[in-house]
């Protein structure tokens, strides 16, 4: 179901969204990030992800988001945790309306020879080491949360 812009803005203003982020790593323990073209978090590197639709089961959302954003089927994932992403901005760039996502972050491992299809939400995608992404000002802080605050996620930096 799609709603018009005014209705969607009222929803953004009044409620949090539930979303999924895909923390995808390869055998070298690098993490796949996309450079975002759209708001919020525009012009930052971020893990792929998206909103869960009404009446959509989590596993169905995982598959839809992985297919839409990267052109891949999501394998079995591990729930890293639930995170709050709160922005002063919104998809439409309307001043004074922030966005709140309650994010279920899932970690996936992929084979080194997998080919990703880049969607129109990202200017480019690339692999980052955890140390690189934690040190970069170009990686959004909400992405960095997955590597700082989740000790059992298998990623350990020098921090």
What domains can you pick out in the chain, each with its CATH number?
5-152 (3.90.79.10)
Q: How far apart are CA 36 and CA 53, in angstroms?
A: 21
Given this model, what pLDDT does residue 157 score? 44
Q: How far apart are CA 53 and CA 40, in angstroms?
A: 18
- 64 contacts: CB under 8 Å, gap ≥ 6: 50, 56
Given this model, what pLDDT does residue 111 score? 85
Q: How far apart are CA 37 and CA 110, in angstroms?
A: 25
Given this model, what pLDDT does residue 2 score? 77
Average pLDDT per 10 consecutive residues for the chain, totaling 159 residues: 88 97 95 96 97 95 95 88 95 96 95 82 94 97 86 49
pLDDT digits (tens, 9 = 90+) for 94-106: 999 999 999 999 9
59 touches 89 (CB < 8 A): no
pLDDT digits (tens, 9 = 90+) for 96-140: 999 999 999 999 999 877 888 888 888 999 999 999 999 999 999
Whole-structure pTM value: 0.89
Peptide bond into 36 cis (omega under 30): no
- SS3 annotation, 54-115: CCCCHHHHHHHHHHHHHCCCCCCCEEEEEEEEEECCCCCCCCCCCEEEEEEEEEEECCCCCC
Given this model, what pLDDT does residue 158 score? 42
């Amino acid at each position: 179901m799609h709603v018009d812009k005014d209705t969607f803005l009222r929803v953004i203003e009044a409620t949090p969204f539930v979303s999924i982020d895909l923390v995808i790593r390869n055998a070298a323990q690098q993490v796949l990030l996309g450079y975002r073209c759209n708001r919020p978090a525009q012009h930052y590197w971020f893990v792929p992800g998206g909103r869960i639709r009404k009446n959509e089961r989590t596993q169905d959302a995982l598959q839809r988001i992985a297919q839409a954003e990267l052109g891949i089927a999501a394998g079995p994932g591990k729930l890293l945790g639930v995170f709050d992403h709160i922005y002063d901005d919104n998809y439409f760039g309307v001043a004074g309306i922030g966005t709140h996502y309650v994010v279920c972050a899932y970690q996936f491992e992929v084979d080194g020879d997998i080919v990703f299809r880049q969607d129109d939400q990202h200017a480019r995608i690339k692999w980052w080491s955890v140390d690189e992404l934690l040190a970069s000002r170009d990686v959004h802080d909400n992405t960095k949360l997955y590597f700082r605050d989740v000790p059992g996620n298998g990623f350990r930096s020098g921090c």
